[in-house]
Amino acid sequence: MSRWTRTADPAADAGWKNAPPRKGFFTDSSICIGCKACEVACKEWNGIPEDGLEMLGMSYDNTGSLGASTWRHVAFIEQPRRAVAASGLTPLPVVAARPGENRSFDGAETGIRWLMSSDVCKHCTNAACLDVCPTGSLMRTEFGTVVVQDDICNGCGYCIPACPFGVIDRRQGPPGTRNVGIAQKCTLCYDRLGDGMTPACAQACPTQSIQYGDLDELRVRAQHRVDALHAAGVADAQLYGADPNDGIGGAGAFFLLLDEPEVYGLPPDPVVTTRDLPAMWRTAAIAGATLLAGAAVAFVRARS
Amino acid sequence: MAECHPVGFQWVMEAKDRGATVIHIDPRFTRTSAMADLYVPLRAGSDIAFLGGIINYILSGEKYFREYVVSYTNAATIISEDFQDADQLDGFFSGFDPKTGTYDTTSWAYEGMETAAAAGSRAVAGRQPPAQAGGGGDELGGRGAALPHSEVRRDESLEDPFCVFQILKRHYARYTPEMVERICGVPPDQFAKVCEAVTANSGRERTTSWVYSVGWTQHSVGVQYIRGAAIIQLLLGNMGRPGGGILALRGHASIQGSTDIPTLFDLLPGYLPMPKAGVHGSLDDYLTSIKSDRQKGFWTAADTYVVSLLKAWWGDAATPENDFGFGWLPRINADHSNYQTIVDMLDGKVEGYFLLGQNPAVGSANGKMQRLAMSRLQWLVVRDLNLIESATFWKDGPEIATGEMRTEDIATEVFFLPAAAHTEKDGTFTQTQRLLQWHHKAVEPSGDCRSELHFFYHLGRMLRERLETSALDRDLPLRQLVWEYPLLQGDEPDAEAVLREINGCHLSGEKAGQLLNSFVEMKADGSTAGGCWIYTGVYSDGVNQSARRKPGSEQSWVAPEWGWAWPMNRRILYNRASADPAGRPWSERKAYVWWDEAAGKWTGHDVPDFQATKAPTFRPEPGIGGPDGLAGDDPFIMQSDGKGWLYAPSGLLDGPLPVHYEPIESPLRNAMHTQQSNPTREMFPRTENLSSPSPPDLGAEVFPYVVTTYRLTEHHTAGGMSRWSPYLAELQPEFFCEVSPELAAERGLEHLGWATIVTARTAIEARVLVTDRLTPLTVGGRVIHQIGLPYHWGVGGGGAIVSGDSANDLMGVSLDPNVHIQESKAAACDIQPGRRPTGAALPRFVEAYRQRAGLSVDTGTTRITPPGDGT
Amino acid sequence: MSIRTRVRRWPVLRQLTSGDPLGRGTAVRSAQTEHMMPRTRTADRVIKSICPYCAVGCGQRVYVKGDRVVQIEGDPDSPISRGRLCPKGAASEQLVNSPGRVTTVKYRRPYGTDWEDLPLDRAMEMIADRVLASRERTWEDADEHGRGLHRTLGIASLGGATLDNEENYLIKKLFTAIGVVQVENQARI
């Protein structure tokens, strides 16, 4: 299997020897209270500028989407009473009941459910942004996460259309804004991880809707949670991005949702946009090898 | 709770995960509702009917916790035969004086105590707070009122027709599910679910807690809302027990502390009332009035608390011969609360005003009245982190824009002094569970930023220097004042020295100079000092207990070694009630504090809130008062009869039991009684503070909708600590109104468009959020629409990142008579699509509404509602 | 820089020799990335504090570098908050370091149309003068029945809920000693 398509251990694949277990986020939207502490803690830690003072009218969401200056974004979805009742959806996000316990309140007559979920870069196992970056700015860390190195990025923007989730973007802002023109996105707080700390968003999250840890362990925890919700009658609870066999090889940051991904503004079946690159590369390989020799000579000459 | 106290809400989520049922009752669907098992929308201002309905369900369905009720409450106590209830007098209790609008509470008393209550029940002057035995209303922060003695007649069969239990049953019999629907707009099946859940989750094995905030207090009957919850919790045995209680979620870091050590006009530290002119001439008069030696409990030691306070303030100058300086305390003789002060300010009676981290131009009801009042001051001192609207109103207030004020005409001299932030000073906050937590200074404040400690210490120093040689009597209290505090870097007074003064110390005897470990060490002979008796112990063993930070993971779930809770580090008040009368836990599941027979003392997870070695079987000799008068099964040790009060025989100004009254501005006629609104409410009828008419008066249809205000997670109160923060401002950048799709259709409001909201006071504009989270209610056969307004925005001319109209500008000022809190959680309004007029057109626009509704200064001020339905 | 070093840093060689032939990880690590250090690590000291917003009383850890707060985090030791913060608590570093925060005294004279600067000491002296003058003008020794009042209603104060207990204590003590009774705070509102 080509390195381009499927990998189980992205850190080792990127040359990290004795890498720590892969780290990630499990964002459990069933216990998200929509407080946006994650958005603020992220901006505060990472020095991200304020990026818009406009009311959007998307329920309580005035952030809109992820972007160069928004690395956490809480979506708010109001599902009106009539639609919820008619669809047979679980009317309210209920926390799991103990087996055999009767959660008698169906809430149907109160009639609205308000979904909230904190979105973030997925830190894909097969990350297209990384694949297309020509400068080496985008990097796979020893934790298996994907980061932008802003001292390398030249703002070419190839990564922007490559991302199947629309996460990454070049920063815009008035003069004086840090890193304007540079591609930016969540780093899973790479600097904090290196010091054994929890990423800022997960550290702040009041209800532990955002959980940080070893990805393997988070996936097990998430499956238990989904099973518990199903047992409690929340039939539409589902994991998103937790499957290593999906189009991105599984996400390093995955989610428990209470409705279909589209409802939250997430693509239902994301695919790494560089899926077809291996075939293309085989064709280009011969030409590449030829160029390499010439490039080596040129580099040494130019520097001396 | 998820909205305004998200980090506290983690415990609700955890409880829910462990099987707790979460019910949210609120006019609008919030982030809390989203997490609740059951959301119940109700009409703003109708909660007493709702709570009364639950009380009726408990009583009529025999759902109460009988053993708890009989032993621990005043259910069995016999009330005076002169008492007449509101259902007998069509909305009034016995004793109402129509001339003064106040009650003579004599007839509400326990049988045999009528005379004593009468002695204190008359108002001092006009509609002023009565000098009741032990004070009234807010002066009773931590207890019920005083009683002349504790020899009450009880009928523990609860059958006597004049016992509290039977009165309660009769009083709430009319609060049926049908009545709840008619008043609150809550359908009977939904209401039944609440009743079933609350009662099923109460008893020996389970407890229910009630959580409230200003959605309950900001009403003309706000205190009685809380009383309603208190009755439910006492009937169900949910007080003094883990997982029980009535939890006030307070909105500011130390708002609890600012009532304990009160920056309030009617209190001295530790809930001692401020002395009243003509009533409390001497220390003896005062002590006789606030307690009786023959009543039970710890208030009988009030003499030791008062004298220790006076010694802390006046040191050696406070002697037995001069009543320990009691005469130096200024006297109150009226309501001197903030809204009365604002009215006096309008009339030019107030010259100078200090604003200390508060922004009344945005945060107080009737913002225009606030700003007009401040424009009539001679001088104003604003101390804040940012240039809030209250500092800049003379320049950019809405009245400048309308031409109602001109900068050049405003004589007010304004001093803005930048304040130090929490990281720039040492000190304690008292949080919502009475926990004092010390915060350490991290850095020096920059520029002219200073703490309040710095400002007030040095202001005091300067005033003392100026009056050093004064011979005037009035200057003596200041000249004699103990005002010596060690100065640290930057001439900052040592906050620990102040906390030690608050804690108190021995002044003479062998322990002279040592800090007090407990308030029981306080003496009334002048041998101890202590600035706030309930905080005594915060420095026990000479250690700043509030700075303790033993990690939660290294101690029990009660976490007694994190910070320090008053009193005496007790985390749950009245926790004797967590055990049965014999001292055994009500159940193993809910064991908290219990009697250890072998050791002969109380023990448990918390510090027992009871005399440590008093056996459950102890019975005092008749006639013994004070702590020794408490029986072994009297858990409510601050109450003058040791019992939880289902019925308040004294202390409240508007009734011994909660009764449903309509908000002052209501679209509906009171379905319960002829009397429409609280007849004892405090009013300020004047042109700056008009009310709109309610039934049976004509004109109510001009303001057909209910408007209520609230906070959002993303902002903080009047915005002084959030609108200046880009990270918070961008999350909720604009002022908006929330309306249901049905109301939007009725009025042609467009999502994300503009709306103009009008009340009798003014008109403001807001962006429109059409949402199913607001729902029309069917109340009394009518569809009632409610409009929700977050109140965080203001002009923001002093550098705020975002700005908008202020919701509080819409609200009028009428007050709960007990605590002088304004009714700003329910008012009448109209809403129209589009932006409001600007400039001089705005007052004209509002005037047109007033004329259509026939408004005058007298509108809404009728105390006694005439019969009729107004239709 | 020697040729050998330069060659070793040549990305293509790094890609081919570091086990990262596609240049996604170790081979492309920048100098900044290599020397990255969280500011919680480089802080001079950590101060224990309490969040200044609502009354939950969440624990905070304040990281200080030099004379400046560089980070405020939730304190995991707190049994109340367990290290968590809401958006306001998470923004408290911005609250204390806000570039818009006014750090000098502002003065508006009667009928003035704009702010003026004033030294802090001068402002304090002027306030002290005004307190005494207003108190003098509005002092009440007794009411109309001759009952002692010993007070002034000419001066009022509002605020305290955001302040420390020690501050409220000095406020109440001083105002009471000079006869100011209209001392109020948000608890009433």
A66 phi and psi angles, rounded to 5 deg: -70, 155
Contacts of C41 in chain A (CB under 8 A): 195
**Residue at B155 is within a domain:** no
> Is residue B117 scored above 60 in pLDDT?
no
Least confident of A85-89, A136-140, B232-236: A85-89
The C-alpha atoms of residue B286 and residue B275 are separated, in whole angstroms, by 7
The C-alpha atoms of residue C172 and residue B280 are separated, in whole angstroms, by 20
> Is residue B27 scored above 80 in pLDDT?
yes
Q: Which of B510, B541, B570 is at the close of a domain?
A: B570
Least confident of B288-302, B742-756, B850-864, C32-46: B288-302
Contacts of C182 in chain B (CB under 8 A): 265, 336, 338, 341, 350
> Is residue B497 scored above 60 in pLDDT?
yes
- For the stretch A101-104, contacts whose Cβ atoms lie closer than 8 Å and that sit 24 or more positions apart, written own/partner, are A101/B19, A103/A232, A103/A233, A103/B37
The C-alpha atoms of residue B772 and residue B39 are separated, in whole angstroms, by 13
Q: Cβ distance A96 to A232 under 8 Å?
A: yes
> Is residue B773 scored above 80 in pLDDT?
yes
Nearest to C30 among A3, A41, A149 (CB): A149
SS3 assignment, position B469: coil
Closest CA to C131 of C154, C150, C149: C154
> Is residue B588 scored above 60 in pLDDT?
yes
* pLDDT above 70 as % of chain B: 96
Quote the pLDDT of residue C6: 62
**Residue at C145 is within a domain:** yes
Total domains present in chain B:
2
Question: What's the rounded mean pLDDT across residues B335-353?
Answer: 97
Q: Cβ distance C90 to B465 under 8 Å?
A: no
- pTM listed for this prediction: 0.94
Facing residues of B439 across strands? B427
The C-alpha atoms of residue C184 and residue C189 are separated, in whole angstroms, by 9
Contacts of A40 in chain B (CB under 8 A): 727-728, 731
Q: Searching chain B, which residue's CA lies closest to the CA of residue A36?
A: B714
Contact C98 B394 (CB under 8 A): no
The nearest CA of chain C is from the CA of A84 a distance in Å of 30
B8 phi and psi angles, rounded to 5 deg: -65, -30
- Polymer length in residues for chain A: 304
Query: Which helix (H) or strand (E) covers residue A10, if one does?
Result: helix A10-13
Nearest to A39 among B10, B187, B731 (CB): B731
Per-residue confidence at B190, pLDDT binned at 50, 70, 90?
very high
Hey, what domains does chain A have and what are their CATH numbers?
A: 20-273 (3.30.70.20)
Contact B10 A55 (CB under 8 A): no
ipTM of the complex as predicted? 0.96
If asked whether residues B691 and B564 sit together in one domain, one would say no
Query: How many other C-beta atoms lie within 10 A of the C-beta of residue A130?
Result: 27
Q: Cβ distance B842 to B763 under 8 Å?
A: yes
Structure tokens at A239: 């994991």
Facing residues of C184 across strands? C158
Structure tokens at B183: 């008043």
**Residue at B458 is within a domain:** yes
> Is residue B550 scored above 60 in pLDDT?
yes
Structure tokens at B394: 């003379």
The C-alpha atoms of residue B346 and residue A102 are separated, in whole angstroms, by 60
The C-alpha atoms of residue B254 and residue B123 are separated, in whole angstroms, by 32
Quote the pLDDT of residue A102: 36
**Residue at B521 is within a domain:** yes
Question: What's the rounded mean pLDDT across residues B708-715?
Answer: 98
Mark which residues 158-177 of B lie under 8 Å from C by CB.
none
Contact B13 A57 (CB under 8 A): no
The C-alpha atoms of residue B253 and residue B234 are separated, in whole angstroms, by 29
Per-residue confidence at A2, pLDDT binned at 50, 70, 90?
very low
Angle between helices B452-466 and C120-138 (to 10 degrees): 60
Closest CA to A217 of A56, A84, A22: A22
Quote the pLDDT of residue B159: 98
The C-alpha atoms of residue B191 and residue B196 are separated, in whole angstroms, by 9
The C-alpha atoms of residue B459 and residue B415 are separated, in whole angstroms, by 14
Contact A299 C74 (CB under 8 A): no
If asked whether residues B691 and B546 sit together in one domain, one would say no
AA identity, residue B683: M
> Is residue A84 scored above 70 in pLDDT?
no
Contact A37 C85 (CB under 8 A): yes
> Is residue B67 scored above 50 in pLDDT?
yes
SS3 assignment, position B367: helix
Quote the pLDDT of residue B26: 96
Q: Cβ distance C49 to A206 under 8 Å?
A: no
Query: How many other C-beta atoms lie within 10 A of the C-beta of residue A134?
Result: 11
Least confident of A232-236, A277-281, B368-372, B392-396: A277-281
**Residue at C68 is within a domain:** yes
Q: Which of B551, B570, B589 is at the close of a domain?
A: B570
The nearest CA of chain C is from the CA of A235 a distance in Å of 30
Mutate which of A39, A56, A110 to test chain B, going by most B C-beta atoms within 10 A? A110
**Residue at C106 is within a domain:** no
Question: What's the rounded mean pLDDT across residues B726-739?
Answer: 98
Mutate which of A35, A56, A208 to test chain B, going by most B C-beta atoms within 10 A? A35
The C-alpha atoms of residue B591 and residue B606 are separated, in whole angstroms, by 11
Contacts of C56 in chain A (CB under 8 A): none
**Residue at B240 is within a domain:** no
- Polymer length in residues for chain C: 189
Q: Tell me, yes or no, if B79 comes closer than 8 A to chain C by beta carbon.
A: no
Residue identified by tokens 């330069």 is C6
Q: Cβ distance A39 to A60 under 8 Å?
A: no
Nearest to A114 among B29, B37, B712 (CB): B29
Cα Rg of chain A, angstroms? 21
Quote the pLDDT of residue B149: 83
Closest CA to B604 of B299, B240, B205: B240
Contact C91 A136 (CB under 8 A): no
If asked whether residues B830 and B693 sit together in one domain, one would say yes
The C-alpha atoms of residue B586 and residue B602 are separated, in whole angstroms, by 15
Contact A33 B21 (CB under 8 A): no
Q: Which of B539, B570, B601 is at the close of a domain?
A: B570
The C-alpha atoms of residue B64 and residue B516 are separated, in whole angstroms, by 42
Total domains present in chain C:
3
Per-residue confidence at B623, pLDDT binned at 50, 70, 90?
confident
Structure tokens at B352: 């100078």
| Average pLDDT, rounded, for chain C | 93
Closest CA to B350 of C123, C143, C138: C138
Per-residue confidence at A100, pLDDT binned at 50, 70, 90?
very low
Nearest to C130 among B379, B452, B535 (CB): B379
User: What is the DSSP secondary structure assignment for residue B562, as one 8-state letter?
Assistant: B
| Average pLDDT, rounded, for chain B | 95
Quote the pLDDT of residue B292: 87
Q: Searching chain C, which residue's CA lies closest to the CA of residue A4?
A: C22
Contact C161 B474 (CB under 8 A): no
Facing residues of B487 across strands? B493
**Residue at C105 is within a domain:** no
**Residue at C108 is within a domain:** no
AA identity, residue B551: P
CA distances from B857 to B405, B524, B667, B761 (A): 22, 51, 19, 12
The C-alpha atoms of residue B574 and residue B572 are separated, in whole angstroms, by 7
Q: Tell me, yes or no, if A7 comes closer than 8 A to chain C by beta carbon.
A: no
How do residues A177-188 score in pLDDT, each as one tens digit?
A: 999 999 999 999
Question: What's the rounded mean pLDDT across residues C144-173?
Answer: 97
Quote the pLDDT of residue B147: 85
Contacts of B727 in chain A (CB under 8 A): 39-40, 43-44, 50
Q: Cβ distance A63 to A265 under 8 Å?
A: no
The nearest CA of chain B is from the CA of A36 a distance in Å of 8
CA–chain centroid gap for B194, Å, is 25
Per-residue confidence at A101, pLDDT binned at 50, 70, 90?
very low
Query: CA neighbours within 13 Å on the CB side: how many for B691?
Result: 25
Q: Measured over all CA atoms, what is the biggest interatomic distance in chain B, rounded to whole angstroms?
A: 80
The residue range of the domain holding B691 is 682-853
If asked whether residues C22 and C67 sit together in one domain, one would say no
Nearest to C150 among B262, B264, B474 (CB): B474
User: What is the DSSP secondary structure assignment for residue B546, as one 8-state letter?
Assistant: G
**Residue at B739 is within a domain:** yes
Quote the pLDDT of residue B575: 98
> Is residue B737 scored above 80 in pLDDT?
yes
Q: Which pairing describes strands B210-212 and B246-248: parallel, antiparallel, or unpaired?
A: parallel
Among the residues of B255-348, which ranges form H helices? 257-260, 283-290, 302-314, 338-346
Sign of CA dihedral A197, A200, A202, A206: positive
Q: Cβ distance B700 to B692 under 8 Å?
A: yes
> Is the backbone peptide bond immediately before B696 cis, with ω within 30 degrees of 0?
yes
Per-residue confidence at B680, pLDDT binned at 50, 70, 90?
very high
CB-based burial, B416-455: b 16+ in 10 Å, e otherwise: bbbbbbbbbbbbbbbbbbbbbbbbbbbbebbebbbbbbbb
Quote the pLDDT of residue B150: 83
For residue B749, the domain's CATH number is 2.40.40.20
Least confident of A273-282, B737-746, C52-61, C96-105: A273-282
> Is the backbone peptide bond immediately before B817 cis, with ω within 30 degrees of 0?
no
The nearest CA of chain A is from the CA of B118 a distance in Å of 49
B210: burial class by Cβ within 10 Å (0-12, 13-18, 19+)? buried
Q: Tell me, yes or no, if C65 comes closer than 8 A to chain B by beta carbon.
A: no
The C-alpha atoms of residue C189 and residue C159 are separated, in whole angstroms, by 11
Residue identified by tokens 């208190």 is B230
Question: What's the rounded mean pLDDT across residues A274-292?
Answer: 65
Give Cβ neighbours of residue A78 (< 8 Å, ≥ 6 apart). A59, A112, A114, B771, B772, B773
The residue range of the domain holding C162 is 119-188
Q: Which chains pack against A, by 3+ Cβ pairs within 8 A?
A: B, C
Per-residue confidence at A105, pLDDT binned at 50, 70, 90?
very low
Contacts of A40 in chain C (CB under 8 A): 87-88, 90-91
B780 phi and psi angles, rounded to 5 deg: 55, 40
If asked whether residues C29 and C69 sit together in one domain, one would say no
How do residues A204-218 score in pLDDT, each as one tens digit?
A: 999 999 999 999 999
Closest CA to B158 of B88, B235, B51, B52: B235
C74 phi and psi angles, rounded to 5 deg: -65, 150
Q: Tell me, yes or no, if C172 comes closer than 8 A to chain A by beta carbon.
A: no
The C-alpha atoms of residue B29 and residue B2 are separated, in whole angstroms, by 11
Q: Searching chain C, which residue's CA lies closest to the CA of residue B274?
A: C181
**Sheet hosting strand B427-430, strand order edge to edge:** B427-430, B435-439, B564-565
Q: Which pairing describes strands B435-439 and B564-565: parallel, antiparallel, or unpaired?
A: antiparallel
Q: Searching chain C, which residue's CA lies closest to the CA of residue B551?
A: C77
Least confident of A4-13, B665-674, C165-174: A4-13
Contact B725 C110 (CB under 8 A): no
